[in-house]
Amino acid sequence: MRLKGKLAWVTGAGSGIGEAAALALASEGAEIVLTGRTASKLERVAGLITKAGGNAHVQPADVMKSNAVQAVADFIKSGPGRVDILVNNAGLNVRARSWEQLTAAGVDEVLGGNLASAFYCVIAVLPMMRAQKDGVIIHTSSWAGRFTSPLSGPAYGAAKHGVVALSTHLNMEECVNGIRSTVFCPGEVATPILDGRPNPPSAELRAQMIQSADCGDLIRYIACLPPHLCLNEVVLSPTANRGYLAQREIKLA
């Protein structure tokens, strides 16, 4: 129970990486605030935490709206009164993602859901973390945030590269306040977001990918690091990295 007495706010907590992170942090004793757009999904995750003896608060919000994000932060400040861990995990992509298909509305949605939302959440928690002189912020970026690929599209790639830069700037400015920021760049993860791809991968392919529980376990490890350490960036991929395998086939052809 290394996180007992601490509070973790997890966005995108209704499924996938966010759900896994919430469960993993709760297993270490953290009190959890669950945020996402669908209350029923959050209630399900809260039920799992409660059943295991943990404590969870359901706070639905569209994190693409700064006032909705601030409302959750106000709830935390007026209730638990502190936030020790922010898992900045909310994200999305659009099906029409190539330059040939991309629209201005699609750009707004992808940048809002992945980059602006991350800024809003950081801005909301920084005052509490500065007052505590302590805090861990973990952002879910992507393999696409480090390596440009046509698979994810230009808007998503640009947004996730922006999340990497956001995290770096946090460490540059906020290390004096005891705040540590980690950007997590996973390769393909078997989560429901894959269903929104133009060509969703098969169940067989998904079984070879990173699993949500793998990400949750890694996020737990980062959150449990001692205050004098900052894990700046983690890049994780499946052993069966489809990008590498494709390059190998081209080389051998």
In a domain, 37, yes or no: yes
* pLDDT score recorded for residue 127: 97
Confidence of residue 182 (pLDDT cuts 50, 70, 90): very high
Which residue range forms the structural domain that includes residue 235? 7-252
Whether the per-residue pLDDT at 73 is higher than 80: the answer is yes
Q: What is the sign of the dihedral through the CA atoms of 112, 115, 116 and 118?
A: positive
Confidence of residue 145 (pLDDT cuts 50, 70, 90): very high
In a domain, 206, yes or no: yes
Residue bearing tokens 């973790």:
8
In a domain, 1, yes or no: no
In a domain, 183, yes or no: yes
| CA distances, 83 to each of 20, 32, 179, 241 (Å) | 19, 10, 12, 36
Cα 168 from chain centre: 16
What is the total count of domains within the chain? Answer: 1
CB 16 within 8 A of CB 209: no
Range 71-87 average pLDDT: 97
Separation of alpha carbons 12 and 175, rounded Å: 26
- Counting residues of the chain whose pLDDT is more than 70, the rounded percentage is 99
Give the pTM.
0.94
Range 66-76 average pLDDT: 98
Question: What length is written for the chain?
Answer: 253
* pLDDT score recorded for residue 242: 86
In a domain, 103, yes or no: yes
DSSP 2-53: TTTT-EEEEESTTSHHHHHHHHHHHHTT-EEEEE-S-HHHHHHHHHHHHHTT
- Is 221 one of the catalytic residues? no
User: Which among 120, 156, 221, 244 is annotated as catalytic?
Assistant: 156
In a domain, 188, yes or no: yes
In a domain, 2, yes or no: no
Question: Tens digits of per-residue pLDDT, 30-41?
Answer: 999 999 999 999
User: 22-26, 118-122, 193-197, 206-210 — which is least confidently predicted?
Assistant: 193-197
Task: Give the pair of three-digit tokens for residue 199.
Answer: 């060509």
Question: Tens digits of per-residue pLDDT, 223-238?
Answer: 999 999 999 999 999 9
Question: Tens digits of per-residue pLDDT, 183-214?
Answer: 999 999 998 888 888 888 899 999 999 999 99
* pLDDT score recorded for residue 84: 98
Whether the per-residue pLDDT at 253 is higher than 70: the answer is no
CATH number of the domain bearing residue 138: 3.40.50.720
